[in-house]
Structure 1
Amino acid sequence: MAIPLGGAKTGQPRAPPPPPPGLPGQPSLLYVAPGTPRTSNTTVVDELESSFEACFASLVSQDYVNGTDQEEIRTGVDQCIQKFLDIARQTECFFLKEKKRLQLSVQKPEQAIKEDAWELRNELQHKDALVQKQLAELRPWQQVPPARRAHWPTWTYLEQASANVPAPLKPS
């Protein structure tokens, strides 16, 4: 029995394809759709593999085999398959972008350098904006009179105090 994947056949709207990876300020290999948790060392290919494993696990899960609510089972499987398809699109976009980048670097090496410089410039602008935000948050603290600051603990005091904190108990 074939299970429809959503869209026109089921009356459910399909999710729009994710934006292409590699937008300025985002490393293309580590692109993650918003709301998707990912650690710093996971790649799109790793995410595709785990999504496939989740699809397979949902199809053979005892909950689904013994379940009686067919609509709930179908919804769960549809969600797993939709996530897999979304990540497959991201993976395809990544490899297409890398293929295009490789072709461009062979045909026009100066273009690849220009793109890298543009991405670095955007990243610097973003970091400058973060620094300005931090400075704006720091200014009120800098305006506190020195007499009031004398009562604040120093870093040395905090380091000494934290050295006296006992280590957490290890579970046995």
Structure 2
Amino acid sequence: MASSMGGMFPGQQSSGQIPVGGAGGPGQPGFPGPGGFPPRAPENNTLVDELEASFEACFASLVSQDFVNGTDQEEIRTGVDQCIQKFLDVARQTECFFLQKRLQLSVQKPEQVLKEDVSELRNELQRKEMLVQKHLAKLHHWQQVLDDVSGQQRKPTDLPPPGPLAFLEQASASLPPAPLKPN
């Protein structure tokens, strides 16, 4: 999988590297530079580098003295909007890159995608089982509280038979029957 992501991270070479930059990029006219951050060489930029640079530019535009001391609110708003738009554009490109790699993986190794899906389903089932156990514990607790309160008012012969399933039997007796689903 690392070879399929060539060019995405620094130090990797790839002929399929997605070009980044363009009008309004860092260091270009009309786009505030990342104040205090060194300029990046455009030929070595990857999407991750470009995303990081655009984030730094957004952050720098919000804390830059030029914008803080500026008197023209419209100019400040325009600069910040440009930074945020550039960041969102690069984020979409990065998302697209990962979606393309995911598609390639699903075509080349469909069993890997199935394994991931099965793993996610197992985790979901485990999470839901823990949630059911938590609710059963709360149900048992409140059933005992209710029994304690109502036990003071009723006779000892009315108590349910002792046992671990007594509260489940009592709780399920008040539930309506589930409708049958046609196969």
- TM-score, normalised relative to structure 1: 0.43
Structure showing greater relative contact order (alpha-carbon pairs closer than 8 Å, 6 or more residues apart): 1
Rg larger for: 2
